[in-house]
Structure 1
Amino acid sequence: MGRRRQCVGDPGTGLVELALAAGQILDRPTLAELTIHAPLVVATPGTALQVVVSDPASDAPAVTIFGRERPDLGSWTMHAEGRLAAARTMAESKVGAPGPAAQTLPVDDVYAVLTDRGFTYGPAFQAVTAAWREGSDLVASLDVTGLDLASHVVHPVLLDAAMHVLAVGGLGAAETPDSALVPFVWSVVRVGPAARATRSPRGCPRRTAWPMPSASL
């Protein structure tokens, strides 16, 4: 799992997947928006979670995710809130290997760079094995060996690793060199059929005041 300032935490993509799973059950498979308010710290002996959907029959039901460090003790903390939506038509995904004109990007030190910025990833999360720049796209090859992709709407490791390509492309840094940007607002998250098997996610970074990537899995 990701490690931030010696606190072991579940990645924000885990919260995204929980919301998407609730939407799948309710036939609201699009995560219209999700704002992460607080990181989810993984404690021993276990962390309790609640996913609450308000007015589930509505067109845009609210979803809220709560957690506490012990299943039987402590108060509940709201970690994320957002809205679900009905299925939307998806454009054809650009998932796949890069073209012959793609520029190969160095990845050997990507996790050392992220560690220097305060994020240490365990072996399962160190999934980027190759990356390319193709026009405005960043393409990454991920090693998902051992991940049970079929048991998830979209595996949190897969989605989190897809974000690492931004660091490879030089778009994941904050204003200071020893820090990194963290995705805490998600909009219009839709899962295509390839997401449970893909190894080559493609991100399309768009610069405004900060990088705002879209990604195809």
Structure 2
Amino acid sequence: MHAGNQLDAPHVEELTLEAPLALPEQGTVHLQLVAASEDGQGRRAISVHSRPTDQDLWTRHATGTLATTGSAPTDPIDANWPPNGATSLDTADAYEQLAELGLRYGPVFQGLQAAWRDGDTLYADIALPKGTDTTGFGIHPALLDATLHGTALSTTDSAGQLSLPFAWNGITLHATEASTLRARIASTGPDTVALTLADPTGAPVATIGSLTVRPITPEQLATAGAEQHRSLFAVDWVPVSGESPEAVAYVEPTERADTDDPIPGLVLAHVHGHQGAPGDVPGNVHATTQQVRELVQQWLADERSGPVRPRRPR
């Protein structure tokens, strides 16, 4: 939204999150937002990238579209708060529960104050800590993020699987520099919600036409913060030493160690590669991998092959 304001396209028509932005314990990260030229209909394609200062490669985290026009606020939040008929939810240990699931929020982001539910609609009070400076923000990121914390808890299943934001559509900001919010989060489908954000008087602050969430496990969250691979895995040849030529055997993927002869200390398999339908690269790769796997399984199943180490020839 900030970039859009500089380009007379302040509405985020859609934004799809592709990869997490993991901050290292040490060092800094460059963040870059790229906006394309206006397409003649008031839209600009955007993408968000990052690069640690000690690396040359950029990671793309999100793609989307900015637009010159957005939706007007509809169905405003009633000044009667909390809504009649809504059931109060216990949020006293909400952030302890989220931490156990892998979502650990610092004090500024712990903005969920209270929550209520009425059918498929969730209502929440959100507030920044006293003294938090909102100057210059369209909407403070911690305030916006905290509107979803009650949803994260309410959508966690019995297996501990969370649902986190994946795709945003129709984001329009109606007021700036808010420090407290009333949020209405209405379910619009199995994995989508619509959000209406207002100030304590009910005046509109922001609307989000549709937010799509995707399931994620605590294990996936833990690995998301790890250093990302900079490239595909590569083959690294390890020199063979200590074995004499007499201790080496060459086999074909279809061969088995089904004789009574002693098994040498080093076995090298000559893998030709599966030749199936022309152009079916994935199918041929899978078939070749299956051949190699079966060969390894056959050799490992033989008690005599215990000391044999698998290698691949140059």
- What's the TM-score once normalised by structure 2's chain length? 0.56
Q: What is the percent sequence identity of the aligned residues?
A: 31
Structure 1 unaligned blocks of 5 or more? 1-19
C-alpha displacement of 1:74? 2.6
Name the counterpart of 1:164.
Answer: 149
- Structure 1 runs of 4+ with >3 Å offset: none
Given that 1:35 and 1:185 are in contact with CA atoms closer than 8 Å, whether structure 2 keeps it comes out as yes
C-alpha displacement of 1:23? 0.9
Per mean C-alpha deviation after superposition, the further-off stretch among 116-125 and 29-38 is: 116-125
Name the counterpart of 1:94.
Answer: 77
C-alpha displacement of 1:132? 1.3
Render the CA deviation track for 1:72-108: whole Å, top value 9, x for unaligned.
6331111111111112241243275323432211101
Name the counterpart of 1:79.
Answer: 61
- Map 1:3-82 → 2, pairs under 5 A: 20-43=1-24, 44-56=26-38, 58=40, 59-70=42-53, 73-82=55-64
**Equivalent residue in structure 2 for 1:133, among 117, 141, 144:** 117
Change (3 A) 1:28 1:95: farther
**Equivalent residue in structure 1 for 2:165, among 170, 178, 183:** 183
Given that 2:91 and 2:113 are in contact with CA atoms closer than 8 Å, whether structure 1 keeps it comes out as yes
Structure 2 unaligned blocks of 5 or more? 198-314
- Count of residue correspondences: 192
- What's the TM-score once normalised by structure 1's chain length? 0.79
Using the alignment, how far apart are the partners of 2:92 and 2:18 within structure 1?
32
**Equivalent residue in structure 2 for 1:104, among 72, 82, 88:** 88
**Equivalent residue in structure 2 for 1:213, among 193, 211, 216:** 193
Q: 1:130 is matched by which residue type in structure 2?
A: A
SS at match of 1:22: helix
SS at match of 1:206: strand
Bigger radius of gyration among the two: 2
Change (3 A) 1:49 1:118: same
Using the alignment, how far apart are the partners of 1:160 and 1:166 within structure 2?
11
C-alpha displacement of 1:166? 0.8
Per mean C-alpha deviation after superposition, the further-off stretch among 140-149 and 86-95 is: 86-95
Per mean C-alpha deviation after superposition, the further-off stretch among 47-56 and 142-151 is: 142-151
Change (3 A) 1:195 1:205: farther
Using the alignment, how far apart are the partners of 2:56 and 2:78 within structure 1?
43
Using the alignment, how far apart are the partners of 2:145 and 2:71 within structure 1?
24
Higher relative contact order (CA 8 A, sep 6+): 1
Given that 2:44 and 2:67 are in contact with CA atoms closer than 8 Å, whether structure 1 keeps it comes out as yes
Name the counterpart of 1:117.
Answer: 101
Given that 1:31 and 1:187 are in contact with CA atoms closer than 8 Å, whether structure 2 keeps it comes out as yes
